[in-house]
Amino acid sequence: MFWIGYDIGSSSIKAALVDAGTGKVHKTVQYPEQEMVIHSPKNGWAEQDPESWWFNLCQVTKKLLNESEVSGTSIKGVGISYQMHGLVLVDKQMEVLRPSIIWCDSRAVKTGNELLQACGEERCINRLLNSPGNFTLSKLKWVKDNEPETFERVHKFMLPGDFIALKLTGTCSTTISGMSEGIVWDFKEEMPANWLLEVAGIDRSLVPELVDTFSDQGKLSKQGAKATGLPKGIPVMYRAGDQPNNAMALNVMQPGEIAATGGTSGVVYAITDQATTREGERINCFAHVNHSKAEKRIGKMLCINGTGIQYSWMRKQVASNSSYQELNAMAESIGIGSEGLRILPFGNGAERMLYNENRGARVLNLNFNLHTKQHLLRASLEGIAFSFVYGLEILKEDGVALSSIKAGNDNLFQSSLFSNTISTLTGTSIKIMETTGAVGAARAAATAFGDFSSLEESVQTDKQCGVYEPLANEQEYLEAYHLWKTDLNEYIN
């Protein structure tokens, strides 16, 4: 018997098949092969059709079962990981009302700032552990203010993972972790922030039913079973945003532990038991998957929008016929500092750590007689790594102590140039683990069901497939980073 874990990304839908008895990974696939389209009707906007996620999930499920030669009748249940902060709106018939305003959309920045002023910064930081920012509630308020005819038809607002659970089960619900990522959770009262909804003019009835992160969140409906090829009646046992889920997949669950990802966006996610923050306008604090009123577990998240998407853009522009492994090798052929070429990778919407401003990317010191595509690739990876280090400095200012960092063996962390740069500049080891978000979601569902006594037991088959330790030539990296940071400070001040 097996469990399926889904990872609903903005680039593709990933699915993993995990053995219910051992936790071992049986098969992982993704669909579509090419990155899903992000529509941008206006500058700074980013939208996707939620129904396209559902179509691709059905396709990836069939692909997973076909390639693994596993029958749908062998599937015990489902776990869901999903792209955070998106807004999905449905009417009373549970039909989608408009395209989803996804995580990297910047249109609600002004709306979030107005909510912050109306509610008071101290109240927001002390109770929400965040400013409303450019997150789900602010996006909903934007729809209310700018698309009133659509807003009048809204029955429920959801996150992307809530929508997938709805399509699977026919039940509309969300989680505490999800509410906190939408900036609708009051950590002092441990309940939805009704006072914030009131200020925003959002009726409490638009909030879906709350369910526990690890729980039976609904059974696969007849329609869901027909569309996916899975058995009717199997449960959805787990749901979480991609960054809390990624940390859970890496067994980062306790205070002091840190997880990192380098996908379309880049994230450092640190666990603490303190529901406080001094950097609420530059980082975000969310209820981790194991958070409870009795035992607080807060994930302090530093997000950089323009990471993997910048490297993907660079690949399309200068080396479209090369694999990422070949790109990494070309970048490594150039020395530290890229012979003066520097890139600020902030071209994918409003950057939270830059005080929620959409500054755009910048290429500096380009010399037509010196620099090649290899330099562009090196400067691209260095700029992304430097932005991680800059973000880690902000986390340190908020009381996070760096011990070691765990990351999955995919995306940017497969580049030794990228990983060595971060490790050397922070003086911190980076452990690379053989797991993915989809695998973690499957194991979490199995644990919630009772197939494993704990998450620790479910990940016992994972292997550490690499570790990066700080290099001896730290000074060269520091000099390159300080030049980059000087450029950044001049750009944002």
Q: Of 102-106, 190-194, 349-353, which gets the smallest average pLDDT? A: 349-353
Neighbours of 376 (CB within 10 A): 22
pLDDT at 474: 97
Q: Which of 438, 356, 381 is nearest to 61 (CA)?
A: 438
Q: What angle do CA 458, 243, 118 make, to 5 degrees?
A: 140
Q: Of 11-15, 92-96, 232-236, 259-263, which gets the smallest average pLDDT? A: 259-263
288 — pLDDT class (breaks 50, 70, 90): very high
Q: Which residues of 194-205 are buried (b: 16+ CB within 10 A; e: fewer)?
A: eebbebbebeee
pLDDT at 224: 98
User: Is 80 exceeded by the pLDDT of residue 358?
Assistant: yes
- pLDDT: is 265 or 37 the higher one? 37
Residue 127 makes CB contacts below 8 A (sequence gap 6+) with: 186, 187, 188, 189, 193
pLDDT at 119: 97
In this predicted model, what pLDDT tens digit does every residue of 115-152 receive, in sequence order?
999 999 999 999 999 999 899 999 999 999 999 999 99
Using alpha carbons, list the distances in angstroms from residue 154 to 135, 272, 295, 296, 394.
18, 36, 35, 33, 38
In this predicted model, what pLDDT tens digit does every residue of 236-251 receive, in sequence order?
999 999 999 999 999 9
pLDDT at 471: 97
User: Is 80 exceeded by the pLDDT of residue 5?
Assistant: yes
User: Is 90 exceeded by the pLDDT of residue 114?
Assistant: yes
493 — pLDDT class (breaks 50, 70, 90): confident
Check: CB of residue 16 under 8 Å from CB of residue 27.
yes
Rounded to the nearest angstrom, the gap between the alpha carbon of residue 486 and the centroid of all alpha carbons in its chain is: 28
pLDDT at 145: 98
State mean pLDDT over 203-232: 98
pLDDT at 401: 78
Token pair 């993997």: residue = 308
The mean pLDDT value of the chain amounts to 95
Neighbours of 92 (CB within 10 A): 9
pLDDT at 88: 98
18 — pLDDT class (breaks 50, 70, 90): very high
User: Is 80 exceeded by the pLDDT of residue 13?
Assistant: yes
Check: CB of residue 2 under 8 Å from CB of residue 17.
yes
403 — pLDDT class (breaks 50, 70, 90): confident
Check: CB of residue 282 under 8 Å from CB of residue 304.
no
pLDDT at 194: 97
**Strand partners of residue 261:** 267
**Residue 291: what residue type?**
H
Q: Which of 443, 447, 411, 404 is nearest to 426 (CA)?
A: 404
User: Is 90 exceeded by the pLDDT of residue 256?
Assistant: no
pLDDT at 305: 87
Identify each DSSP E strand in 9-83 by its residue range.
13-19, 25-31, 47-48, 75-82
In this predicted model, what pLDDT tens digit does every residue of 406-436 receive, in sequence order?
998 878 999 999 999 999 999 999 999 989 9
User: Is 80 exceeded by the pLDDT of residue 48?
Assistant: yes
User: Is 80 exceeded by the pLDDT of residue 343?
Assistant: yes
Q: What angle do CA 42, 81, 271 make, to 5 degrees?
A: 100
pLDDT at 85: 94
In whole angstroms, give the CA distance from residue 47 to residue 101.
5
DSSP state of 36: P
State mean pLDDT over 444-472: 94
Element (H, E) at 243: helix 242-249
Identify each DSSP E strand in 345-428 by its residue range.
362-364, 404-408
User: Is 80 exceeded by the pLDDT of residue 310?
Assistant: yes
263 — pLDDT class (breaks 50, 70, 90): confident
pLDDT at 7: 97
Q: What angle do CA 92, 167, 454 make, to 5 degrees?
A: 125
Structure tokens at 192: 């939805």
Q: Does 32 sit behind a cis peptide bond, omega within 30 degrees of 0 on the bond before it?
A: yes
